[in-house]
């Protein structure tokens, strides 16, 4: 085997988004496309000689081929060791766990998260740093800069690695180790939660639960932990076998795409507790019997009950939420007298706060919650947290939520997604709204009057770095809030996300449907941003 230096030309569309580079599979299959981005990443790392690199992905189409390419390039770039999840699979939180446990210089995670998979669908790649978290903006900007000037990449000729057999191989001077994808992560979960308490809960025949792995990467982890270690009935984990196209479904754990789970939770004999995770295992949806638990409420509930969990009985340093996330957790943090931080969307912003010891728990409204046990959002961790709370309090999930509302009040929240809209027109809409911001205060839309409006600008309290234009915020005089931003997680067109929240302390008004409770905000947002005019859409594609 010899090192080969391949001449190449830069592509003009390799800027990483909030979660790495995501494109259609056919784009990644272009000659040199994946290789250019991988080499740009290695160039950003600097001296790779002797370092440990972790590699894995969510098992979607093109995952295995991409791993073989990365192994050859890692060897040609001098890495001392490459550690790969068996079957080329590692959930995103498990990848973070492995990077941290084995002191790797970082890892390459192959995933497009909750986006569909298959030959005609999406693929993604991102670099996680030595802390196990997504690369900070400084690093992603360096990677991007390298993609614009790259002229060559390094690889070698070698036989394919057997990705399914645990063991070691050698490529050039690089050790390549195939590891059990599940055990390290499952052991970490067992160190955080009271498995005895949860085992007792799941042995109670009156407590029936269901976990929908959505034919995605979390299946093997959930089977190992829920069924094997905690003793849940066989079949508790549905759609447990990962597939390259996620069973033809959309691996996004929300009320629309996890419809099979929702039907079980709202049927004639509903389960006591239900949950789902996404394509790469970092998101979660949790449900009580006939009861949807909003991710914003979920984060607040986890903080309020963290003292019940063995791994957090020593206390919580602080909490953080993404800016668009509802403000329920702020009220719990105030009651506990701990810091609460507001960050832009993107898990990398939480990583700085965790590494500095400023926060223990964090979360986003987009079904992501996590803690400082890793540096990624963690879907199965959140499900286990809920099960541990239910076991400790000996109450159904919906009762726990309603008790929380009674104590703290309810922050009504909803997100409206307008998917696949024309990107240019969506950008025009946001620019037009941004131009109106200085004059919005005092204007009335329907029955609401605007109190203030701005374009969110974040200054990191750890390193002082700044992130501008992170979402338009509009506050109304009745305490309501509207947030609008364009998502960076899709691969075609644009997704307009509009967020609405309003606090309601009146116990008599805590049981309303969120769409009804927030109707005046929704109407005002459409009027002030001219959503139909710019997007051609009267109603959203997905409501969460």
Q: Are residues 143 and 251 located together in one domain of the fold?
A: no
Picking from 53, 63, 13, 58, the residue whose alpha carbon sits closest to that of residue 33 is 13
CA distance readout (Å), 320 to 54, 112, 245, 353: 28, 24, 34, 8
Q: Which helix (H) or strand (E) holds 352?
A: helix 348-355
Q: Would you call 60 helix, strand, or coil by DSSP?
A: coil
Q: How far is the first Cα of the chain from the last one, in angstroms, to the nearest whole number?
A: 52
Residues 368 and 445 in one domain: no
Kindly state whether residues 88 and 132 are assigned to the same domain.
yes
Do 459 and 392 share a structural domain? no
How do 361-364 and 481-486 pair as beta strands? unpaired
- Give the rounded distance of the alpha carbon of 58 from its chain centre: 13
The answer to whether the CB of 21 falls within 8 A of the CB of 125 is: yes
Q: Is 276 within 8 Å of 285 (Cβ atoms)?
A: yes
Q: Classify the C-alpha dihedral 285-399-331-311 as positive or negative.
A: negative
Catalytic residues: 113
The confidence score (pLDDT) of residue 283 equals 95
Residues 487, 515 share a domain: yes
Which positions ≥6 away from 176 have C-beta within 8 Å?
Answer: 71, 75, 81, 82, 84, 161, 168, 169, 170
- Report the distance separating Cα 492 and Cα 420, nearest Å: 7
- On whether the CB atoms of residues 388 and 171 are closer than 8 A, the answer is no
Do 378 and 266 share a structural domain? yes
Q: Please give the structure tokens belonging to residue 503.
A: 């606090």
Q: What confidence score (pLDDT) does residue 490 get?
A: 52
What token pair was written down for 501? 């929240």
What count of other Cβ atoms lies within 10 Å of the Cβ of residue 247? 16
- Enclosing domain of residue 356: 185-408
Distances (CA, A) of 359 to 244, 337, 354, 375, 541: 36, 13, 5, 12, 34
- Spatial separation of the C-alpha atoms in residues 240 and 232, rounded to whole Å: 14
DSSP structural state of residue 247 = G
Query: How far is Cα of residue 230 from the mean position of the Cα atoms in its chain?
Result: 25
Locate 331 and state its tokens.
Answer: 């009220």
Instruction: Select from 181, 202, 223 the last residue of a domain.
Output: 181
Residues 175 and 195 in one domain: no
- Give kind and range of the element (H or E) at residue 443: none
Q: How many domains does the chain fold into?
A: 3
9 and 150 fall within a common domain? yes
Residues 247 and 350 in one domain: yes
Low-confidence ranges of the chain (pLDDT < 70): 488-492
Which CATH number is 521's domain given?
A: 3.30.310.50
Identify the pLDDT of residue 544. 85
Q: Angle, nearest 10°, between helix axes 92-101 and 379-393?
A: 90
Question: Does residue 194 sit in the same domain as residue 157?
Answer: no
- State both tokens at 282: 């970092």
For the stretch 295-346, pLDDT in tens is 999 999 999 999 999 999 999 999 999 999 999 999 999 999 999 999 999 8
- Domain end, chosen from 380, 408, 436, is at 408
Q: What is the pLDDT of residue 398?
A: 94
Distances (CA, A) of 30 to 34, 58, 340, 492, 497: 8, 21, 45, 17, 31
Token code pair at residue 96: 């973070």
List, in sequence order, the alpha helices (H) in 193-308: 195-203, 218-222, 259-265, 295-304
Furthest-apart CA atoms within the chain: distance in Å: 74
Angle between helices 379-393 and 183-192 (to 10 degrees): 30
Domain-ending residue, one of 181, 214, 241: 181
| Per-residue model confidence (pLDDT) at position 492 | 59
Are both 244 and 311 inside the same structural domain?
yes
What is the DSSP code (8-state) at residue 402?
H
The span from the CA of 435 to the CA of 530, in Å, is 13
- Domain harbouring 332, CATH code: 3.40.120.10
Q: What is the pLDDT of residue 141?
A: 93
Q: 341 and 449: one domain?
A: no
What's the DSSP call for residue 311?
A: G
Q: Write out pLDDT tens, residues 244-303.
A: 999 999 999 988 889 899 999 988 888 999 999 999 999 999 999 989 999 999 999 999
Helix (H, G, I), strand (E, B) or coil at 240: coil
């Amino acid at each position: 085997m010899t090192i080969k230096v391949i001449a190449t030309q830069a592509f003009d569309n390799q800027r990483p988004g909030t979660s790495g580079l995501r494109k259609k599979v056919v784009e990644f299959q272009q000659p040199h496309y994946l290789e250019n981005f991988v080499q740009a990443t290695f160039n950003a790392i600097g001296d790779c000689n002797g370092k440990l690199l972790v590699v894995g992905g969510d098992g979607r189409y093109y995952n295995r081929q991409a791993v073989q390419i990365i192994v050859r390039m890692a060897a040609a770039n001098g890495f001392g060791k490459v550690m790969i999840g068996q079957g080329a699979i590692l959930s995103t939180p498990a990848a973070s766990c492995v990077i941290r446990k084995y002191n790797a210089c970082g890892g390459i995670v192959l995933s497009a998260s909750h986006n569909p998979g298959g030959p005609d669908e999406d693929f993604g790649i991102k670099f996680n740093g030595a802390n196990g978290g997504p690369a900070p903006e400084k690093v992603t900007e360096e990677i991007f800069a390298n993609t614009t000037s790259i002229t060559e990449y390094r690889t070698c000729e070698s036989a394919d690695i057997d990705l399914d057999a645990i063991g070691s191989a050698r490529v050039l001077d690089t050790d390549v180790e195939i590891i059990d994808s599940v055990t390290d992560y499952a052991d970490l979960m067992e160190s955080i939660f009271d498995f005895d308490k949860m085992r007792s809960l799941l042995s109670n025949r009156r407590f029936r639960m269901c976990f929908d792995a959505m034919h995605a990467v979390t299946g093997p982890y959930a089977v190992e932990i829920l069924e094997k270690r905690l003793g849940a009935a066989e079949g508790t984990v549905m759609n447990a076998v990962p597939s390259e196209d996620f069973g033809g479904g959309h691996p996004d754990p929300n009320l629309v795409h996890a419809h099979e789970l929702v039907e079980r939770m709202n049927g004639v004999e509903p389960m006591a507790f239900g949950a789902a995770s996404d394509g790469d295992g970092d998101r979660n949806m949790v449900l009580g019997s006939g009861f949807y638990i909003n991710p914003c409420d979920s984060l607040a509930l986890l903080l309020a009950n963290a003292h019940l969990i063995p791994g957090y009985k020593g206390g919580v340093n602080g909490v953080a939420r993404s800016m668009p996330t509802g403000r329920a957790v702020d009220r719990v943090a105030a009651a506990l007298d701990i810091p609460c931080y507001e960050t832009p969307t993107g898990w990398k912003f939480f990583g700085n706060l965790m590494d500095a010891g400023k926060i223990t728990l964090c979360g986003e409204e987009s079904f992501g919650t996590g803690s400082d046990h890793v540096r990624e959002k963690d879907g199965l961790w959140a499900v286990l947290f809920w099960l541990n709370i239910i076991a400790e309090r000996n109450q159904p999930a919906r009762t726990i939520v309603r008790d929380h509302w009674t104590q703290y009040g309810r922050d009504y929240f909803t997100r409206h997604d307008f998917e696949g809209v024309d990107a240019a027109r969506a950008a025009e809409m946001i620019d037009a709204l941004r131009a109106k911001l200085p004059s919005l205060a005092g204007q009335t839309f329907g029955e609401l009057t605007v109190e203030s409006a701005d374009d969110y600008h974040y200054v990191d309290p750890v390193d002082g770095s700044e992130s501008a234009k992170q979402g338009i915020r509009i506050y109304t005089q009745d305490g309501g809030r509207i947030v609008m931003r364009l998502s960076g997680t899709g691969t075609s067109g644009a997704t307009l996300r509009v967020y609405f929240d309003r606090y309601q302390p009146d116990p008599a008004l805590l049981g309303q449907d969120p769409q009804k409770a927030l109707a005046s905000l929704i109407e005002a947002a459409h009027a002030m941003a001219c959503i139909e005019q710019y997007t051609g859409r009267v109603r959203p594609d997905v409501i969460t």
